[in-house]
């Protein structure tokens, strides 16, 4: 029996229509970072946490390694490392996303640690250890996870681990943004089809099937007999002459099986891949249901999450190996049309796993990787990574599944191209959150930190009382001079009257801002990474030379004698419609979190670089407390002059 080739072949137009998405987010509810796989330098980690918090990062994801906690023996839990790391994270003002990591640390791309799963598990059930492991077409066994064909044995261990985690860390319930559940190698719902136990199965190959253990083969036999009713029914469907059910086997030569297109063109091939795929889907349900049952006390209201990988290679081969890497990983079946939105290009089933829990009291978030990547159909990987990012997001939107993104490779967030692709996914697909692999890539300066800061400013939907706020300060300057401001709340006043300790955690007296004007080439570098109006000078993400929060030169009228017209909406400086006051009025236009002000009031003081420096003390009337600085109001237009106590505070037109 044959099937039409449109089950496998991809339309070349898909590469050209990325922006045509069925759903758009344009905003993010979370902007997270991954902690190191295992922290060894706590001083460096604390510095990274401080920078991340100042950037506006939401939370830090942490692998809670099964083997690290319960490695000594069944029910012998050692949470000490996690007591420490959770304390460090929350002390920095960040939330936690713990990952219930039932997989090995080591053996995957970027892994720099060696934490196996508990060794006692292999002898715990009175069955051969090989029955608990994936066995590949090459005859190799994986020890990175327990095989899904042992879920009926080991699921209770997963549940006990998560129950113990909830019991021990119940006091952190308000600090946990999400709890992610590992469902396979690297924490992803997939088979270890391109992992280190096999040879020649990694990127950019087709991978290796992982269904050759005795329990897997027995399950395939039972599945086929159940589908067709008898061995005769199997023979009739497959065109075989099998004499006993033990002859129902996975492909004896998987290479030829794929190369010949049996996965698409024969009933046996379609059935084998369907069983292989459905087995993984059932495993996903088992893991998530186990988590829901286990985390039903102090963590009952915390959102759960799961991750699937962006296996983007072997997607544009134009031959029978097309989509074979995804098939070997179990992500997609081969008996549906893989070239249509109706099936999510093959991803409808796997997106259906989290979709099936959307009527629970808490939802399940789907995480997908490879947001930073381009399509590269003619490269060695024959990749459609960017297309895949959109296919999965569109299917998630179709099934009302919240989806968040990650970069697949750490280097992907250190380039402008990577961030352009990430922002493209948020602009034109349904991604609603970002987790960066890893914290060190975006907290040590450079492109990673600058672009993530910009991303947070542009996409993250913050809490608080955010209102547009404009400040004009008249200050005569010359070429090469720029005007900055610093401000916030007085430390002593905040401590005495607001209960804030700004000496220990200085952002308590700072005001969160998001710049509206990023058009001025001179000041944009100083606005990048400028997340607070504060008293402390340059922030870690700002460009060199910043003396605080940068303002832009404006005028009420640009005469022709000055040359080509410059306007704030086009150039970021020049003629400005809100400026009714004259030239040399430097302007700050931001979204500001008014919740940290004193009944809407806050202080500002100006500084001119390469010139007069700080303005003098002034005495403005009608302010909530005495100060030698200007007082502005959040959510309004504020007009001042340097060294003058005068002030105009008006509403927006």
Q: Which of 141, 166, 406, 603 is catalytic?
A: 406
Q: Decide: 512 and 490 in contact? Cβ < 8 Å.
A: no
Q: Which of 141, 166, 188, 615 is catalytic?
A: 188
**φ and ψ at 434, to 5 degrees?**
-135, 135
Q: How far apart, in whole angstroms, are the C-alpha atoms of residue 79 and residue 98? A: 13
Measured torsion, CA atoms of residues 334, 337, 340, 343, in degrees rounded to the nearest 10: -60
Cβ atoms of 453 and 532 closer than 8 Å: no
- Cβ proximity of 402 and 366 under 8 Å: yes
Cα separation of 172 and 454, whole Å? 30
Residue 479, CA distances (Å) to 209, 265, 439, 483 in order: 67, 73, 39, 12
β-partners of residue 64 are 100
181/169 Cα distance (integer angstroms): 16
360 in active site: no
The helix/strand/coil state of 391 is helix
10 Å CB burial of residue 342 (0-12, 13-18, 19+) is exposed
Beta strands per DSSP E along 40-142: 59-65, 95-101, 134-135, 141-142
φ, ψ dihedrals at 405, nearest 5°: -115, 165
The closest of 345, 286, 355 to 310, measured between CA atoms, is: 345
Asked whether 384 and 315 are in contact (CB, 8 A), the reply is yes
In SS3 terms, 171-196 reads as HHHHHECCEEECCCHHHECCCCCCCC
Burial 119-142 (b: 16+ CB within 10 A, else e): eebbeeeeeeeebbbbbbbbebbb
d(CA 580, CA 630): 20
Q: Are 223 and 196 in contact (CB under 8 A)?
A: no
- Which residue in 279, 302, 179, 180 sits closest to 224, CA to CA? 279
Cα radius of gyration (the chain): 29
Peptide bond into 438 cis (omega under 30): yes
Give the separation between CA 52 and CA 444, rounded to whole angstroms: 10
Cβ distance 629 to 604 under 8 Å? Answer: yes
Would residue 157 show up in a list of annotated catalytic residues for this protein?
no
Residue at token pair 């100060």? 627
What SS3 class is residue 219? helix
User: Under a CB-based contact definition with an 8 Å cutoff, are residues 429 and 389 in contact?
Assistant: yes
Place of tokens 């259906």: 352
Query: How many angstroms separate the Cα of 378 from the Cα of each of 6, 316, 318, 374, 383?
Result: 21, 8, 11, 12, 8
Inter-CA distances, 593 with 309, 466, 530, Å = 37, 4, 14
Instruction: List residues with catalytic annotation.
Output: 188, 406
């Amino acid at each position: 029996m044959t099937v039409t080739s449109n089950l496998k072949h991809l339309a070349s137009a898909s590469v050209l229509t990325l922006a045509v998405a069925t759903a758009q987010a344009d905003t993010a509810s979370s902007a997270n970072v991954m902690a190191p796989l295992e922290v060894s330098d706590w001083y460096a980690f604390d510095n990274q946490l401080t920078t991340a918090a100042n950037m506006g990062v939401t939370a830090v994801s942490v692998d809670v390694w099964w083997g690290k906690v319960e490695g000594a023996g069944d029910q012998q839990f050692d949470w000490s490392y996690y007591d420490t790391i959770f304390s460090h994270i929350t002390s920095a003002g960040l939330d936690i996303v713990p990952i219930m990591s039932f997989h090995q640390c080591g053996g995957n791309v970027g892994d720099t640690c060696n934490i196996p799963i508990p060794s006692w598990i292999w002898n715990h059930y009175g069955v051969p250890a090989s029955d608990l492991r994936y066995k590949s077409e090459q005859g190799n066994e994986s020890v990175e996870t327990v095989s899904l064909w042992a879920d009926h044995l080991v699921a209770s261990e997963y549940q006990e681990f998560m129950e113990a985690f909830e019991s021990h860390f119940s006091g952190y319930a308000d600090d946990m943004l999400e709890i992610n559940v590992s469902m396979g190698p690297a924490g992803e719902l997939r088979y270890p089809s391109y992992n280190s136990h096999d040879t020649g199965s990694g990127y950019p190959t087709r991978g290796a099937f992982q269904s050759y253990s005795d329990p897997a083969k027995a399950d395939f036999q039972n599945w086929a007999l159940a589908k067709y009713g008898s061995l005769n029914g199997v023979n009739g469907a497959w065109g075989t002459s099998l004499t006993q059910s033990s002859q129902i086997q996975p492909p004896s030569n998987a290479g030829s099986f794929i190369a010949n297109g049996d996965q698409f063109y024969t009933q046996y091939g379609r059935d084998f891949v369907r069983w292989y795929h459905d087995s993984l889907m059932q495993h996903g349900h088992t893991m998530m249901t186990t988590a829901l049952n286990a985390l039903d006390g102090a963590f009952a209201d915390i959102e759960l999450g799961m991750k699937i990988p962006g296996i983007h290679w072997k997607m544009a081969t134009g031959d029978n190996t097309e989509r074979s890497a995804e098939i070997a990983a179990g992500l997609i079946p081969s008996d549906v049309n893989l070239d249509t939105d109706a099936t999510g290009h093959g991803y409808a089933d796997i997106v259906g796993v989290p979709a099936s829990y959307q009527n629970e009291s808490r939802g399940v978030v789907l995480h997908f990787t490879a947001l930073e990547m381009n399509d590269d159909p003619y490269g060695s990987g024959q990749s459609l990574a960017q297309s895949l990012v959109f296919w999965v997001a569109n299917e998630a939107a179709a099934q009302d599944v919240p989806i968040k993104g990650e970069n697949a490779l750490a280097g992907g967030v250190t380039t402008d191209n990577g961030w352009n692709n990430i922002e493209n996914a948020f602009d034109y697909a349904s991604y609603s959150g970002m987790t960066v692999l890893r914290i060190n890539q975006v907290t040590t300066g450079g492109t990673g930190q600058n672009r993530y800061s910009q991303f947070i400013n542009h996409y993250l939907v913050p809490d608080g009382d955010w209102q547009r706020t404009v400040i004009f300060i008249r200050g005569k300057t010359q070429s090469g001079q720029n005007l900055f401001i610093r401000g916030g709340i007085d430390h002593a006043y905040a401590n005495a009257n607001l209960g804030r300790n700004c000496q220990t955690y200085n952002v308590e007296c700072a005001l969160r801002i998001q710049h509206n004007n990023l058009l001025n080439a001179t000041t944009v570098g100083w606005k990048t990474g400028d997340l607070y109006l504060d008293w402390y000078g340059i922030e870690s993400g700002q460009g060199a030379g910043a003396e605080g929060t940068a303002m832009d030169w404006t005028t009420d009228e640009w005469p022709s004698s000055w040359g080509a017209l410059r306007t704030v909406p086009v150039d970021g400086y020049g003629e400005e419609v809100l400026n009714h006051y004259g030239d040399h009025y430097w302007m700050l236009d931001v979204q500001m979190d008014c919740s940290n002000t004193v009944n809407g009031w806050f202080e500002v003081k100006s500084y001119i670089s390469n010139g007069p420096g700080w303005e003098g003390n002034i005495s403005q009337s009608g302010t909530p407390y005495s100060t030698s600085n200007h007082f502005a109001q959040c959510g309004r237009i504020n007009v001042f002059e340097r060294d003058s106590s005068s002030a105009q505070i008006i509403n927006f037109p």
